[in-house]
């Protein structure tokens, strides 16, 4: 997985692809992401996990802001209708505020 070169272990391209897939797993990926971001000795792995975590928080914030904008622009009824439409596309779920 990692090659030793001087003082650092460098990750290959396949390692980054594997880490992307690992971090996408809902709960296990988040656990590994936190462990890699804050508790690993490999600097490259730690920096990559921290950048992935920062992107995750950024996208979560953008989604929250957009949700508030949609809610304020159309009111609760429009928000509920849009969420129900989204859940209908995903499956048979229903959003009830």
> CA 79, CA 96: separation in Å to the nearest integer?
11
| pTM of the entire predicted model | 0.64
d(CA 48, CA 74): 39
What string of H, E and C letters represents the secondary structure of 76-95? Answer: HHHHHHHHHHHHHHHCCCCC
Q: What are φ and ψ of residue 8, in 5° steps? A: -120, 150
Would residue 44 count as lying in a domain? yes
Q: What would the pLDDT profile of 20-46 be if each residue is shown by its tens digit?
A: 999 999 899 999 999 999 887 888 889
User: Number of structural domains, the chain?
Assistant: 1
Q: Does any domain span residue 39?
A: yes
**Interval 74-97 mean pLDDT:** 72
In a domain? residue 97 = no
What is the span of the domain harbouring residue 81? 2-90
pLDDT of amino acid 6: 56
pLDDT of 42: 84
**Whole-number Cα distances in Å, 76 to 26, 47, 79, 82:** 29, 41, 5, 10
């Amino acid at each position: 997985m990692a090659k030793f070169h001087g003082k650092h272990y460098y990750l290959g391209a396949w390692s980054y692809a594997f880490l992307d897939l690992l971090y996408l797993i809902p709960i296990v990926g988040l656990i590994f992401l936190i462990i890699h971001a804050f508790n690993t000795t490999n600097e490259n792995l730690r920096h990559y996990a921290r950048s992935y975590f920062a992107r995750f928080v950024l996208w979560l914030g953008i989604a929250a802001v957009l949700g508030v904008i949609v809610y304020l622009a159309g009111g609760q009824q429009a928000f509920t209708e849009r969420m129900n439409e989204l859940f209908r596309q995903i499956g048979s779920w229903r959003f009830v505020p």
